[in-house]
Structure 1
């Protein structure tokens, strides 16, 4: 990967012909992984390595050792065997039913169908008749049909 600086914080990263923009100030990359995972991934890592910056400052606090220790500071006690559980009779007597709402058939109103790349790239043109070769109609509505003898 080659790194080309644009400004102090914004860098362009060439990854085998694909270009990505990494902003260290906002902790973003155009690949989306840096801001999603909140960890410097390959493009951000290349910039940090190129600038000789420590990656610790660009990781979320969730991944730092102090936060991990605070998360698991409270003891977690295992549950006893299922046979030893004390479940109140009022809970056992309750029947859990599925929700009453049933999704109606068909496409939801207001949501257009997502078109495939093939549909979007297709050039729309006029119909061409397979019988006479003229545009504007098909063979079913062709008036230039050869007459049967």
Structure 2
């Protein structure tokens, strides 16, 4: 990947697949992988390498070992068997019923968007002459051909 420094914090990274602009101060990339996952994307890795910054500084604190260790500092007690559970009968919540709704008579109305050809009225065309406004029975062409 080719890395070109634009200013003190921004770099332009070009490669085979796509180009990106990295902002080192904001920790943002135009490919948005770096923004969403809080892990460096390929563009960020190449620009940080040129800037001389440690790769582990790119990651969010949530991915670092110290944060994971702090999450498990306290004692985690196992859950006892279900027979040993002490459930107080008074704390049982009442049964929740659905709301009272009056059902209206008739067919339910649907709110929907009509399809592309749905709003147009069809024009009746003749089967013999393909002209609009009449059918085979009332076609003037049929009347002239039947007399011959």
TM-score by length of 2: 0.62
Give the CA deviation at 1:145. Answer: 3.1
1:110 paired residue number: none
Give the CA deviation at 1:59. Answer: 2.0
Question: Cα–Cα, structure 1 residues 78 and 43, in superposed 2: closer, same or farther, change >3 Å?
Answer: same
Give the CA deviation at 1:66. Answer: 2.0
Q: Secondary structure at the match of 1:18?
A: coil
Give the CA deviation at 1:17. Answer: 4.3
2:135 paired residue number: none
Question: Cα–Cα, structure 1 residues 141 and 90, in superposed 2: closer, same or farther, change >3 Å?
Answer: same
2:117 paired residue number: none
Unaligned runs of 5+ in 2: 102-109, 114-120, 133-138, 142-148
Unaligned runs of 5+ in 1: 108-112, 114-137
Give the CA deviation at 1:24. Answer: 0.7
Give the CA deviation at 1:88. Answer: 0.6
How many aligned positions are there? 118
* CA distance in structure 1 between the aligned counterparts of 2:27 and 2:95, rounded to whole angstroms: 46
Q: Cα deviations across residues 98-141 of structure 1 (Å, max 9, x unaligned)?
A: 77499xx758xxxxx9xxxxxxxxxxxxxxxxxxxxxxxx9838
Give the CA deviation at 1:47. Answer: 1.2
Q: Report which of the two structures shows the higher radius of gyration computed on alpha carbons.
A: 2
* CA distance in structure 2 between the aligned counterparts of 1:101 and 1:21, rounded to whole angstroms: 56
Alignment of 1:54-133 (within 5 A): 54-92=54-92, 94-97=93-96, 100=99
* CA distance in structure 1 between the aligned counterparts of 2:100 and 2:78, rounded to whole angstroms: 37
Give the CA deviation at 1:65. Answer: 2.1
Q: Cα deviations across residues 58-84 of structure 1 (Å, max 9, x unaligned)?
A: 222222222222121101111012222
Question: Cα–Cα, structure 1 residues 36 and 17, in superposed 2: closer, same or farther, change >3 Å?
Answer: closer
1:20 paired residue number: 20
* CA distance in structure 2 between the aligned counterparts of 1:49 and 1:17, rounded to whole angstroms: 20
